[in-house]
Chains A and B, each alone.
Chain A
Amino acid sequence: MAAGRRRKHYNANNSYLSVVPVRLSELQKGAPAVVERVDDVQAADPIAQRLRDLGFVQGEPVRVVARGPMGGDPLLIQIGSTRFALRRNEAARVEVCVEVAA
């Protein structure tokens, strides 16, 4: 991950935390993360729009619950109290932030 994109901010406990941007497809199983944005891979990308409609919008907490048995594809994503199965290339459109101790 590009170190230059790390941003420092305070969390609710006023301790230093680093926020690392990660693709949802690369997120570790079980690691809590927050949606940053959904990128269009082409102009007016219908899959990206669908993801936004399904609640992949900034600030929404997400987590990888399970991975498919073949090649770790598809991913089971928990967003809010909803679980969606996404293929890796669909999940790769979503950038999430993981908080790690600085």
Chain B
Amino acid sequence: MSAGTLRIALVGNPNCGKTALFNQLTGGRQKVANYAGVTIERKEGRFVAPSGRMLQILDLPGAYSFDTVSPDEKITRDVLEGNYPGEAPPDLIVCVADATNLRLHLRFLLEVKRLGRPVVLALNMMDAARRRGIVIDVPELQRRLGLPVVETIAVKRNGAKGLVERVDGEVPIAAPKQPDDAASRADLHAEVRALLAATVTMPRATAKLDDTLDRWALHPVFGLAILALVMFLVFQAVYAAGKPMSDLIGDGFGWLGGHLAVWLPAGPLQGLVTDGIFGGLGTVLGFLPEILVLFFFILTLEESGYLPRAAFLLDRMMLSVGLTGRSFIPLLSSFACAIPGIMGTRSITDQRDRLTTILVAPLMTCSARLPVYALLIAAFIPSHRVLGMFNLQGLVLFVLYVAGIAGAMLVGWVMKRIHRDKSEHALLMELPSYRMPKVRDVGIGLYERSMIFMKRLTGVILALTILMWALSSFPAPPAGATGPAIDYSFAGYIGRGFAHIFAPIGFNWEMSLALIPAFAARETAVAALATVYAVGGDSGALGPALAAHIPLASALSLLVWFAYAPQCMSTLAVIKRETDSWRNVAISFGYMFVMAYVASLLTFQIASALT
């Protein structure tokens, strides 16, 4: 630690706006959303205060109390007590409190105060508090608490000015350290009640809007209907809004590749540029709009505060299949990508619930599967209307998503059966106030996602595509060879070797070959197929080329395979990191492989018999 750098930790109850404040202070772009447990790791940022002093800010996961039960809360306690490995305790603690919901937030502040370190209280969401007519006597609160209190509006420009001025000034004197035990914790509630009575006036306990919305959103019948409608609309929108943009990008790249080929000398380089880069990567890039549409909806739902309501509605159902309502949000983020989903399970307090959620999260259809699904559906499923309103292609996509969810329910149910520990699981989940999603936050989320996608595309996917092109092009066919060049290449040999395993489920050798790079990044299956068929002599669009070479039954089998297969290396690596057990990785890989193989086998055999 350099001299003069002040280390500040942001703590508080879950969902009080610590991360929004962190972003406001440091200009960071950390993810914010409207539910408890968004921040699951310690995050660090720094900025220079007006006085010229360097301030280092630590954003910590939210906690209700130091009697910790969940892994993310434990990180917070360890950092504040100086027990976190490689981390000195902070010089100053900024305790962030939601001004509209002070009771629990002040109670936590009193716990923090007992640590015996300098504390500043930031009353956040002051704008919302004023709108609801909540009046807080700040000078009196400050006097009674014996520590500095500042007002902040984390989501507004300059909304943290008062806080910066305060922390940039003299470090406040710490209260004496006090022991922490169950008996003294009970007294804290009484202390908070006295504080609130003396300093806060509140016209209503809750926001009127929340009460009205919850009457509908949590209604036993309408609530479920609204939830089903929201989910269905999201998946239809992915197709309806994303597809035209995707086609535009695909056509643009095809045109560009064609023009570039004219300028390049014929030979291996021309093949790499037209077949590999433009054919392969262009196809993957074309799916970015669909992924962004999906993310737009996920981010908007996350910001609105609706997701914990959905978790409430589904808790009982999820409980019956060995999960919990708390699994809902991690599983929903797994539709984007299983990796943040699996990391998000840290907010699940029950270890058994957490493990089940981790094991089924990869069955949720992640956005990397979307390009594969979209390509195969466009090539094999006719786009006519069903019941006059649904596109058959959209419907098949929806069925694939449902297949993933049904698989997860089956696995959860089996896990619950074989688990010997039948003790009680707890829910205990806070439902936040509804909030209008901020255009800026959704925009940042979409930008971050595009950047991640482009990095993948120009990193791992590009490298694999070039490798696949090389494998498919070399060695060149011997003089006088009659078949397509690719039959004599390395790819031809590898693919045919793999095809023995996958022949019963209807995969030809090209499809079997495409599964190898898909293990590193699923989207690469699309690029690999594009490269293999392009090198194999088919020019033009990938879709018709697939339809010409692959029977319908095999295509359906491949779709089902992608719904269940253990395909992504990074997911397995995250399971290892989060559960610290190779056994869980083996279980995860094993059950998914068996499940995918059996489901594809059934699909292929039944579809072959029918067609």
* Residues of chain A having any CB pair with chain B under 8 Å: 46-47, 49-55, 57, 59-60, 65-71, 73-74, 76, 78, 80-87, 89-90
Q: Are B317 and A54 in contact, with the CB atoms below 8 A?
A: no
Residues of B within 8 A of A54 (CB): 64, 104, 428
Q: Which residue of A lies closest to B189 (CB)?
A: A57
B interface residues (Cβ-Cβ under 8 A, vs A): 64-65, 67, 69, 100-101, 103-104, 107, 182, 185-186, 189-190, 193, 202, 205-206, 214, 218-221, 223-224, 308, 311-313, 315-317, 319, 325, 424, 426-431
State whether B426 touches A81 (Cβ < 8 A): no
Q: Give me 23 A-to-B residue pairs in the complex whose CB atoms sit less than 8 angstroms apart, sorted by A's number.
A: A46-B69, A46-B426, A50-B67, A51-B428, A55-B189, A57-B190, A65-B214, A67-B220, A68-B315, A68-B316, A69-B221, A69-B224, A70-B316, A70-B317, A71-B316, A74-B325, A82-B101, A83-B430, A84-B428, A85-B311, A86-B427, A86-B428, A90-B426
Query: Which of A68, A70, A74, A83 is the most central at the interface, judged by chain B CB atoms within 10 Å of its CB?
Result: A83
A50 B426 Cβ-Cβ under 8 A: yes
On whether A74 and B427 interact (CB within 8 A), knowing A50-B69, A81-B103, A87-B315, the answer reads yes
| Chain B contacts for A82, CB-based, 8 A | 101, 103-104, 430
A residues within 8 A CB of B219?
66
Contact B424 A47 (CB under 8 A): yes
How far apart sit A74 and B428, CA to CA, in the bound complex (Å)?
10
What is the chain B residue whose CB lies nearest that of A72?
Answer: B220
Find out whether the CB atom of A53 lies under 8 angstroms from the CB atom of B427. no
Residues of B within 8 Å of A66, CB to CB, are: 214, 218-219, 312
Q: Residue of B at shortest CB range from A41?
A: B424
A80 touches B223 (CB 8 A): no
CA–CA, A51 and B424, complex, Å: 15
Interchain CB contact (< 8 A) of A52 among B186, B214, B426:
B186
A71 to chain B: which residues have CB within 8 Å?
Answer: 316
Give chain B nearest CB distance to A57 CB in angstroms: 5
CB contact between A90 and one of B313, B317, B427 (< 8 Å): that residue: B427
Contacts A68-B312, A76-B312, A87-B427; A53 near B101 (Cβ below 8 A): no
Contacts of B101 in A (CB 8 A): 80-82
Please state if A69 and B104 are interface contacts (CB–CB under 8 Å): no
Q: What are the nearest 5 A-B pairs in CB distance?
A: A69-B220, A70-B316, A66-B218, A53-B65, A80-B103
Q: Using known A-B contacts A68-B312, A74-B315, A74-B316, determine if residue A84 contacts B189 with beta carbons closer than 8 Å.
A: no
Q: Are A80 and B205 in contact (CB under 8 A)?
A: yes
CB-nearest residue of chain A to B187: A57
Q: How far is it, in angstroms, between the C-alpha of A65 and the C-alpha of B219 when the chains are bound? A: 11
A74→B189 contact, CB < 8 A: no
Nearest Cβ in chain B — how far from A74, in angstroms? 5
Measured between alpha carbons, how far is A10 from B317 in the docked complex, in Å? 45
Contact A53 to B430, CB < 8 A, known contacts A71-B316, A81-B101, A81-B205 = no
Residues of A within 8 A of B190 (CB): 57
